Amino acid sequence: MERRDFVSHLSMAMALACAGGLAACTKHMADAPDNNNGGGNAKLTADLSTELLNTGNFKIGGGVILIRIAAGNTPSAFSALSSTCTHQGCTVSTFNTGSDLIECNAPCGHGSRYTTTGAVQTGPATAALPKMTVSINGNTLSVS
Ligand code: FES
């Protein structure tokens, strides 16, 4: 094999390895549950002794956005919604405590805004974020 052929084959092999690795990594990131999920079927958990202490605090992970919307450690004090924007599937970026809206921003998102109930406030999204179930056992909040 000539040097030019060897370099060509090596480049092709590296390109395939990178593409495969990137695809695996992207899938892992998209499907990765929150590291602090407490096991079981929980998609996201929170330790209420140290997290989400104040109204407006939020956490995104495991395909969930979890927002404290009121005082107290009862399920009704929290909103848990899918964090996957219904426009084109980006993970929502943040919860804006000034506007009380969930934002899907660049670089992935296109500016959709949702209320804490999941309803679309501003498009381009047209469908609400699906609601998820919150349960609390002691200081451990679980979203499923
Ligand atoms: S993916 Fe969220 S606004 Fe487009």
Torsion angle of C-alpha atoms 119, 132, 68, 105, degrees rounded to 10: -50
Residues 66 and 102 in one domain: yes
Give pLDDT, residue 5: 52
Residue 39 lies in a domain: no
Residues 52 and 9 in one domain: no
Residue 38 lies in a domain: no
Mean pLDDT within 9-13? 42
The reply to whether ligand 1 has any atom less than 6 angstroms from the CB of 42 is no
Under DSSP, the state recorded for 131 is B
Q: In what order do the strands lie in the sheet with 112-114?
A: 94-96, 101-104, 112-114, 120-122
The reply to whether ligand 1 has any atom less than 6 angstroms from the CB of 61 is no
User: Which residues, 6 or more positions from 81, have their beta carbon under 8 angstroms from its beta carbon?
Assistant: 64, 65, 102, 114, 116, 118, 129, 130, 131, 132
Contact 96, 103 (CB under 8 A): yes
Query: For residue range 34-92, what is the model confidence (pLDDT) as tens digits?
Result: 444 444 577 999 999 999 999 999 999 999 999 999 999 999 999 999 999 999 999 99
Whether pLDDT at 2 is above 70? no
Give pLDDT, residue 28: 34
Residues 53 and 13 in one domain: no
Q: Which residue's structure tokens are 């699906």?
A: 130
Residue range of the domain that includes 87:
44-143
User: Which residues, 6 or more positions from 54, have their beta carbon under 8 angstroms from its beta carbon?
Assistant: 68
Residues 122 and 87 in one domain: yes
Q: How far is the CA of 129 from the centre of ligand 1 (A)?
A: 12
Give pLDDT, residue 42: 74
Q: How far is the CA of 62 from the centre of ligand 1 (A)?
A: 18
Residues 66 and 24 in one domain: no
Mean pLDDT within 118-128? 97
Residues 27 and 48 in one domain: no
Question: Residue 47 CB: number of other CB atoms within 10 A?
Answer: 13
